[in-house]
Amino acid sequence: MATPGTLVLAGTPIGRVEDASPRLARELAEADVVAAEDTRRLKRLTTELGVTVGGRIVSYFEGNESQRTPALLEELEAGRRVLLVTDAGMPSVSDPGYRLVAAAVAADVPVTTVPGPSAVLAALAVSGLPVDRFCFEGFLPRKQGERARRLAALAGEERTMVFFEAPHRTEAALAAMAEAWGDDRAAAVCRELTKTHEEVRRGPLAELAAWASDGVRGEVTVVVAGAGPEPGVAADDDSLRAAVDEREAAGMTRKEAIVEVARSAGVPRRVVYNLVHSKGPR
């Protein structure tokens, strides 16, 4: 029996080709088989990198993933090195790859990775939200009822959440999040990360949904704060009032202070407003 080859999962640029690693270029040149989500995009990438693929190129996308996996596993079991790339980012992360990885692991075929750009980590890093604990939820269901049920199940999730979303569904997704978790839940919409027209919009979910109503273009990653208070501002009445007082003393208007405290504590803005104004004139 032949010594098995190796399955290599390679991260590809999510925007700028300069983000491609030297190891990615070497693996593309040396692999026996390159399985690509889109062979045309692979061709553009290798041309920009100045790399010639030395092995056989096969397509491997959502529509043929199940059918192609057994053949690729045979290549691996025959001792060949198979490189898997998707259009952008890391294979198997909301992209084709999981079936082949699972099959290789079950067959005791070595699996390794060429680390690369990740929209998930890039969005987390620039979001301004807590990143010490987070979870990735991929794409929300397209149907309204299924999406609402998914969001309801995440209502108590305390970790920062990361989602992928199609541009034409971004407004609906943000509005559904606001309905499920509150208008004032802090979030960030990261659009076209690392590309020429990169844009990061931060704010409460309701404000972001209103912004998205004008239309969103490009690749979208949404980061949303988890449930419960964020570090720094407790959610009890006295702490919320004190936090507003501190910000007003530092020069903020009362409205600005209320907005920031509500966002930081993870509570609706109206709760902080009512607490502050229940004390009477100051």
Sign of the four-CA dihedral 113, 119, 123, 124 = negative
- On whether residue 231 sits in a domain, the answer given is no
**Tens-digit pLDDT profile for residues 13-45:** 999 999 999 999 999 999 999 999 999 999 999
Whether 109 and 138 map to the same domain: the answer is no
- Tokens standing for residue 34: 């390159």
- On whether residue 262 sits in a domain, the answer given is yes
236 within 8 A of 277, measured Cβ to Cβ: no
Mean pLDDT along residues 192-203: 94
Q: What string of DSSP letters covers 85-113?
A: E-SSB-TTSSSTTHHHHHHHHHTT--EEE
Using N-to-C axis directions, what is the helix angle for 254-265 and 237-249, rounded to 10°? Answer: 140
- On whether residue 184 sits in a domain, the answer given is yes
Whether 78 and 167 map to the same domain: the answer is no
Whether 99 and 128 map to the same domain: the answer is no
Whether 75 and 14 map to the same domain: the answer is yes
Rounded to the nearest angstrom, the gap between the alpha carbon of residue 4 and the centroid of all alpha carbons in its chain is: 33
Structural domain harbouring 78: 6-114
Whether 108 and 133 map to the same domain: the answer is no
- On whether residue 230 sits in a domain, the answer given is no
What does residue 178 show for φ and ψ, rounded to 5 degrees?
-60, -40
**Tens-digit pLDDT profile for residues 118-137:** 999 999 999 999 999 999 99
Whether 132 and 52 map to the same domain: the answer is no
| Among the listed residues 174, 201, 199, 177, the one whose alpha carbon sits nearest the alpha carbon of residue 188 | 201
Whether 266 and 217 map to the same domain: the answer is no
Whether 16 and 29 map to the same domain: the answer is yes
- On whether residue 81 sits in a domain, the answer given is yes
pLDDT at 231 over 70: no
Domain count, the chain: 3
Q: Which of 114, 143, 172 is the last residue of a domain?
A: 114
Whether 125 and 28 map to the same domain: the answer is no
Q: The CATH number of the domain where 140 resides is what?
A: 3.30.950.10
| Among the listed residues 207, 199, 202, 180, the one whose alpha carbon sits nearest the alpha carbon of residue 269 | 207
- On whether residue 229 sits in a domain, the answer given is no
Rounded to the nearest angstrom, the gap between the alpha carbon of residue 75 and the centroid of all alpha carbons in its chain is: 32
Question: So what's the pLDDT on residue 256?
Answer: 86
What's the Cα-to-Cα distance from 256 to each of 8, 90, 266, rounded to whole Å?
50, 40, 15
Q: The CATH number of the domain where 84 resides is what?
A: 3.40.1010.10
35 within 8 A of 215, measured Cβ to Cβ: no
Q: Which of 90, 114, 138 is the last residue of a domain?
A: 114
Q: Which amino acid is at 25?
A: A
Q: Which of 55, 87, 114 is the last residue of a domain?
A: 114
- Tokens standing for residue 143: 């149907």
pLDDT at 229 over 60: no
- On whether residue 232 sits in a domain, the answer given is no
Whether 29 and 68 map to the same domain: the answer is yes
What's the pLDDT band for 93 if we cut at 50, 70, 90?
confident
